[in-house]
Amino acid sequence: MTGQPAPRPSRRERPAKPALTRDGIVGTAVALMRAEGLQRVTMRRLAQELDTGPASLYVYVRNTAELHAAVLDDLLGGVDLGPARADGDWRGRLVRILTSYTAVLFEHPGLARSALVARPSGERYLDLVEALLSLLDEGGVPGDRAAWAIDLLLQFATATAAEHAAGDKGATETEGEWAALAAAVRGASRERHPHIAERGADLLSGPGEARLDWGFHVLINGVLCTALPDPPGAPTATASPDTP
């Protein structure tokens, strides 16, 4: 005689699910991104992972964009802020922090692209901004100018990571695109594109690390010598009359 199937446990007998928290949701989203990629970190997929409904998540996270920003803020814990408290040239220490930030984005290609529009507002992001501002202050950059400089420096780092990250493309496809660009530059017509033909080797030269480092220094030096524009309606400075 065939035995009867075991009865399914009632809902009351199942272990209680842990209560939802914002930290728990973000932690699960980070784990999901590492396992499946950022494109899979949606409210629906996350709700499935947490055994709940998407509507329950909106109490803690307003939308997918805010979720991705929270994931980015969590990963910013991997940025090395040690140079902010070290000795030595402040420019070099500033560049080391920015390079560490860029490296974090390089590890997560999808996040690098999302970071171009995501606006993190958590403690780790504030820690990063505080470290950058402290070094700019140490270098004598006026406070208002330093505040604007943060956008420039982080945008350059983020755009560099997004540009060079393979993302959803395979390595072969990425290498093929670069080879096509290099061939076009090297084969540029001297009649139509004389400057490209003259400087083609320079356009393609240099490792990415050197270009990134140089770009940061260009921005920092530019910030040092470029004042903010006058606000709209501000009186224009006039030259004093010549003395006889």
DSSP readout, 190-225?
A: TTT-HHHHHHHHHHT-S-HHHHHHHHHHHHHHHHHH
User: What band does 244 get if pLDDT is binned at 50, 70 and 90?
Assistant: very low
Digit-coded pLDDT (tens) for 138-149 = 999 999 999 999
Please compute the mean of the pLDDT values over residues 191-199 and round it to a whole number: 95
CB 25 within 8 A of CB 57: yes
Pairwise CA distance, residues 69 & 11, whole Å:
35
Determine phi and psi for 236, rounding to 5 degrees: -85, 130
pLDDT digits (tens, 9 = 90+) for 40-82: 889 999 999 999 999 999 999 998 888 989 999 999 999 999 9
**What one-character DSSP code corresponds to residue 236?**
P
CATH of the domain spanning 80-225 = 1.10.357.10
Element at 134 (helix H, strand E):
helix 123-138
Residue entry with tokens 């060079």: 164
**Mean pLDDT over the full length of the chain:** 86
Quick one: pLDDT at residue 239?
Answer: 45
Q: Where are the domain boundaries for CATH 1.10.357.10 in the chain?
A: 80-225
pLDDT of residue 17 exceeding 70: no
Which segment, 8-12, 95-99, 173-177, 238-242, is predicted with the most confidence on average? 95-99
Cα distance between residue 74 and residue 76, in whole Å: 5
**Residue 87: pLDDT over 80:** yes
For the chain, where do the domains classified as CATH 1.10.10.60 start and end? 19-61
CA distance 75 to 73: 5
What does CATH list as the number for 19-61?
1.10.10.60
